[in-house]
A = this chain, B = another copy of it.
């Protein structure tokens, strides 16, 4: 594989990962366009749609955690690198996670019938609009969804291509197989559970806990850390430490996200006040509030149950918020997020990894789970 050498090095801090990954993604698309655009304008347009999606935003959180895993492997984690694997190869390998995320979000947007993402039309709406713009007859909505399913599939295939063709040596790739394999199955399993949860009307907090475990914690934090650690040939205790801490940070992140979905300031979140209440999202926070209020204040539980997905005014939102606060669920949710983060931070701080990577990882964890401040 040919590439322009960059200044990327093995000790680059986590905060540098997003822009470096952006550059690698740009290069990947440049190469794919050169390979594919002659095939047909329709296919080139599909690649454009994926490129706009992938390069149009995102915090690059998964590559960042994977890079943390590489750094941890090499800084006290018992790992070494093959001489044939350079820092840019590893950067491309961790950057591939953005294509998994693109597939997950593009398909998720179809599933949720979402109109916009990051302030732009979702991928299915983009193709629906081009169907109309072309003046074609027939089912524009169906056309949009169909092309978006395929663009998501392409992203899923290209995730694998970007990892395997990253330039990382064969032994490192072989070690990366387990987290890669598990992560892909877990994120799909988490999505299946999430959809079943929404459709079944289940109020079982354990079901929500599973969704958080697989759809968020494993996929966003634990497995990316695991992938990076595997690429860097970390020893078993390092993998254990990172996976456990990653799961805790990931769940805390989701609980905090759920808190923001109910109590967040629209100025900060960019969403309507009480967005999850308006949309009826069945989070652990809400399920816990329902379960508690059922025992302590059945009238309040009934009001919350009826209001989920139906409330419109700010006053109604405030009323449901108060029920959630009064049930004790809000404090419990926040306390649990805090506790999980503290446990992860303690384990990292008292563990065997180098001070540098631990400080950076702790800073990211704190930032993710204290986004209100």
Q: Is the CB–CB distance between A107 and B188 below 8 Å?
A: no
> A187-209: contact bitstring with B at CB < 8 Å (1 yes, 0 no)?
01101110110111100000100
Chain B residues contacting A318 (CB-CB under 8 Å) are none
A177 to chain B, nearest CB (A): 6
Q: Is the CB of B36 within 8 A of A189?
A: yes
Pick the contact of A147: B146, B174, B181, B192 (CB < 8 A). B192
In the bound complex, residues from chain B placing their C-beta under 8 Å from that of A177 are 164-165
Whether a CB of chain B sits under 8 angstroms from the CB of A149 is: yes
The reply to whether A185 and B157 contact each other, CB–CB distance below 8 Å, is yes
Most buried by B among A136, A143, A185: A185
Question: In chain B, what residue has the closest Cβ to A139?
Answer: B199
Q: Which residue of B lies closest to A156 (CB)?
A: B156
Q: Which residues of B contact A195 (CB under 8 A)?
A: 143, 146-147, 150
Contact of A189 among B46, B156, B160, B184 (CB under 8 A): B46
| Contact A103:B153 (CB < 8 A) given known A143-B195, A146-B111 | yes
Chain B contacts for A111, CB-based, 8 A: 142, 145-146, 149
* Distance, CA A193 to CA B145, complexed state (A): 15
Question: What residue of chain B has the Cβ atom nearest to residue A173's Cβ?
Answer: B170
Known: A161-B181, A174-B170, A181-B165. A143 touches B188 (CB 8 A): no
Q: In the assembled complex, how far is the CB of residue A151 from the closest CB belonging to chain B, in whole angstroms?
A: 8
Please report which residues of chain A, range 157-171, place their CB below 8 angstroms from some CB of chain B when the two chains form the complex. Answer: 157-158, 160-161, 164-165, 170
The answer to whether B153 touches A210 (Cβ under 8 A) is: no
Closest Cβ of chain B: how far from A225's Cβ, in Å?
20
| Number of residues on chain A facing chain B (CB within 8 A) | 54
Q: Which of A40, A46, A134, A165 has the most CB atoms of chain B within a 10 A radius of its CB?
A: A40
Q: In angstroms, how far is the closest chain B Cβ from the Cβ of A281? A: 14
| A201 partner residues in chain B, CB cutoff 8 A | 136-137
Q: Verify if A39 is at the interface (C-beta below 8 Å from B).
A: yes
A129 at the A/B interface (Cβ < 8 Å)? no
Asked if residues A40 and B210 are in contact (CB atoms below 8 Å), the reply is yes
Q: Which residue of B is nearest A197, CB measured?
A: B42
Contacts of A174 in B (CB 8 A): 170
Give Cα A158 to B160, complex, Å: 12
For A41, give the chain B residue with the smallest CB separation.
B196
Q: How long is the Cα–Cα vector from A142 to B141 in the complex, in angstroms?
A: 13
Closest 3 CB pairs of A and B: A157-B184, A111-B146, A42-B196
Interchain residue pairs with CB less than 8 A apart (16): A36-B185, A43-B189, A103-B153, A107-B150, A111-B142, A134-B200, A137-B201, A138-B199, A149-B149, A150-B192, A152-B153, A154-B185, A154-B188, A156-B157, A157-B181, A157-B188
